[in-house]
Chains A and B, each alone.
Chain A
Amino acid sequence: MYAQLVETGAKRVKSLEEMSPEEREFQLKIDAETKIEAKNWMPEGYRKTLVRQISQHAHSEVVGMLPEGNWITRAPTLKRKLQLMAKIQDEAGHGLYLYSAMETLGADRDEEIDKLHEGKVKYSSIFNYPTLSWADMGTVGWLVDGAAIVNQVVLQRTSYGPYSRAMIRICKEESFHQRQGYQILLDLMREGTEEQKQMVQDSINRFWWPSLMMFGPSDDQSPNSQQSMAWKIKRKSNDELRQMFIDQTVPQLEFLGCTAPDPDLKWNEERGHYDFGEIDWQEFYDVLKGNGPCNKERVETRKNAIDGGAWVREAAKAYAEKQQQKQQNAA
């Protein structure tokens, strides 16, 4: 998940005839579902696109810790606190794992993180929304991790081996997070007070549309999708994934006894899918450009953490060098 509008650098997809012999061999491997590994030849565009996508994904995991971190000191019970802590720890782990996958492509983690802090690269728009109540910890787990899973389940079959393997591992944990999130909401709706139930509905109202935006622009506005699909970096279109998510989520929404803030949301017997209203694309592009509710704070928090920790990392390095010197002297 967590990758929106990933630039491929390709204006259109080349035909096999137009490709160089190396490119053709590469494309035939992709078409035959053979995984590409780090040591294999790959077109520069493929490599760059993957670096962009995986780094965006990794940044999203790390920035995604912040909206949940906002409630970790206020979690309501020991059980919920421990669950949320474990979830956030998993996300830091996903970030590390994805940065490693990205580094197999020759990219440098610190450089990519610098780009994030300079506002040059993106992370998922969803994490620029504030978490305003405890119910948001349920909603983020259910909707945000839910949307992520829809994307990531498909990405388990992505053409780049290290990314695909990262997705397989991450999906297992995300599914667990999603069930936990849904359980939070279910408990509040079933046994909560009126105030707590309102908290749930308010949370869904705020996160519903931003969750749908996680899948990126609609297919006709997604200029990079075709190349990413040809390379099998992407396996399904944004609109297909969004529809899958809605179709699986609406029954869960109804089971909760809640509603979505979309008057056009209804089952379409003919299509065999839910119809839904138009996404506010202006809001989507605004948030992506940096004008979301929390863009400034999220990037600032991350930048301050890493910049403020420079002396810590320098000390660790200096100490390690001294220890090494001592060992050499002793030998």
Chain B
Amino acid sequence: MSSSEEKKKKKKDKKKEQEQEEVTEESKKKYLFDRYGFLLPPEEEIDEKKEQKKRKKEIESIDLWREMIDNWKKFSKNNKLLKKRIYAGIPDRYRGIAWRLITGSDLLQKAKEGEVEYGDLHISNENPESESVIVKDINRTFPDHENYKSGDEQKRLYRVLKAWSIYDQEVGYCQGMAFIAGLLLFYMEEQEAFWTFVVLMKDFHMSALFREGFPLLQQQLFQWDKVLKKYATKLYKHFQNENIMPSMYASSWFLTIFARVLPFPLVLRIWDIYLYEGMIFIFRISLAILKVNQKKLLSLPFEEIVLYFKDIETKIGDWEKLLKSAGSFNISYKLIEKWADEWCLQNQK
């Protein structure tokens, strides 16, 4: 290489280096994550004061929750206190263990020890059909999250879903499930997440949500329409006039328990309560979301309503207020059950 060529090369290298530096600076500026590891939009900075206040509150509740978790048997019987504390939000540090205790997945995991090996499930080749669907969904689950950009986390998610598709081959994997397992994996070890997933599918009947034909989803959409008719009659009528069907906006609400729909910190709070109260709370929070937006929705025609729902995460206002009002809606258990029976009767023929 001649000296002039060498110079040129050096110049080029230097330029490259500079460019690279600029790129890293740029990416530092661009990529901010919130405390849960979600990518923040460039203009949105963390409100430090608000965050500090939240942290202070959380530190206080950490002591309370530590005591509860250490004495779960005793506290789990005190429904009033438990409910109050769950509604106030489970501290992040104890969320994983609390979710396992509330759902009873810790007991199931123990009970299945020696009978079903998680490690055998996720390496099995018995359900190749589900497997190819899972693989295509892995990097499309919480794509804005720091964790799920990495291969290791994606592998964990893959293994839990794969294990489920072997554990229950009849239901197998269905799109939407990845958001549920992904959410659990934020707070649990792989095996714990798997057994909690199993409890959700079995005891919380979520497998009927995802089963061929989506029988439970159909039923819940029917029930939801009745809830709307009874508790938000004006909106119900407006939606009827505009041909808005619940399936157009609420399918992903119910299939992922809002995991794919609302801002992550709010999703966690909803899950805290959902795991304790069950589906009735999802009807309540859905109603609260509609009530907050009732005035606006009543003024919109078909097309704008559907688009409005698409963007619902930006339209829920103060989360605490929303959760509070959801808790205060007195949707009747009896009616919910009656509507379920009605649906079953209609569809038995």
Q: Do A and B bind each other?
A: no
